[in-house]
Structure 1
């Protein structure tokens, strides 16, 4: 039965790294976001036809934003396996699970390195999307969970939070230099497309209701009405 005592010890160690790291990031990418992704990824993993390695799913979910390129340098993010290798090696001596020898450490970091929306977009544009990307269930569980947290009520609040941190406009008219980086444009560029690009059937079911909220708010007029109403309140 998952997790065993040894697996739970490894999970706790990974969670400690995550909490310490995410404390430095803004509310759009904090420990609470990661915990939601973890919970959803495990839920999805329990509902896919071919059960994945649950430890890989949970570790990848917990660590997926530690090296987020929005918060660390390109050099730091370039080799997740090298970055996490000391952690993987210590788990063998401390808790008896050798993530290096059994290959799961490599898979965890491969998932981390490929989970983001922008990475998938770039790989497909360059023709570098592979069969592994299409078939790795562990990747799909974490990808869907992360993307589900970008839509619905939490997704809207996260978008607003990141917009504030980056000092980007909530709305800018077409033709304005800041329009491409506005919150409204982010809805059109990414958020309204997430539902149709979820990988798992369970993820798609979870995404259906959340998409309705995002779809309504992607309408500029409705968004501005909501924002104005919030200010008046």
Structure 2
């Protein structure tokens, strides 16, 4: 009986994987299928430590970016709500119960940074932490550069790298995003596991930024290094 149940679970996850993958084919590298697989991997690691409903958490991870508007789109903050609604359509054909679909949809809606929500469920909290962790570390450096390129942003402000006499503007300058959002993420994590991992990843990003400044001989290196 247990083997039959496991086979059924596996077939459901294969179905949701197949149905969700097509939504990411045209996404820029910061939000593509590889991003989804990394988030799922992080969710599984946290699930082992914290426990969670796999039938809610993993489908939510597969579907959390099926609507992903560009960051410079005025409606970008609505992406998670739109993804939440569209997920119901996908889930309906994959064998999930009504309550499971509601819980999955809620986790997707709650994960967004820009909406500033504390997720309603453990699964939502794990998904939110996993998605935020994927914005940090070595992969965070790559993703940030990818999103900036997609938006047509510059990597940095040549005249005032550290924003000492200007406000940060992460729509115009990629490196500003480190201060406006990314370095704030550890304190916003829902779980201790994610918070510790976030701090480790940020150490690498600070090293990267220091190396970048060292290579930019026209930038003034200040005590912030």
TM superposition score normalised by structure 1? 0.77
Q: Is 1:118 the equivalent of 2:103? A: no
Alignment of 1:21-36 (within 5 A): 21-36=23-38
SS at 2:175's partner residue?
helix
Partner of 1:126: none
* Offset at residue 33 of structure 1 (A): 0.8
Partner of 1:136: 121
1:113-158 per-position Cα deviation (integer Å, ceiling 9, x unaligned):
11021111xx5xxxxx6xxx3x621011111111111000000011
Q: Is 1:151 the equivalent of 2:143? A: no
Partner of 1:209: 200
State the alpha-carbon separation in 2 of the partners of residues 84 and 152 from structure 1: 29
What is the aligned length?
206
Which stretches in structure 2 are left out of the alignment for 5+ residues? 218-225
Partner of 2:220: none
Alignment of 1:186-197 (within 5 A): 186-197=177-188
* Offset at residue 91 of structure 1 (A): 2.3
SS at 2:114's partner residue?
helix
State the alpha-carbon separation in 2 of the partners of residues 154 and 68 from structure 1: 19
SS at 1:69's partner residue?
coil
More deviation, 13-22/137-146: 13-22
Contact 1:195 1:208 in 2 (8 A): yes
Partner of 2:222: none
State the alpha-carbon separation in 2 of the partners of residues 176 and 46 from structure 1: 45
Greater RCO, 1 or 2 (C-alpha within 8 Å, sep 6+): 1
Q: 1:224 aligns with which of 210, 213, 216?
A: 213
State the alpha-carbon separation in 2 of the partners of residues 76 and 147 from structure 1: 15
1:9-54 per-position Cα deviation (integer Å, ceiling 9, x unaligned):
2211221233211111001111111100001011101101xx2111
Change (3 A) 1:43 1:30: same
State the alpha-carbon separation in 1 of the partners of residues 20 and 92 from structure 2: 17
Alignment of 1:142-181 (within 5 A): 142-172=127-157, 173=160, 174=163, 179-181=169-171
* Offset at residue 180 of structure 1 (A): 3.9
Contact 1:169 1:178 in 2 (8 A): no
TM superposition score normalised by structure 2? 0.79
State the alpha-carbon separation in 1 of the partners of residues 33 and 18 from structure 2: 10
Which stretches in structure 1 are left out of the alignment for 5+ residues? 93-97, 124-128, 229-233
SS at 2:67's partner residue?
coil
Over aligned residue pairs, what C-alpha RMSD do you find?
2.8
Change (3 A) 1:81 1:27: closer
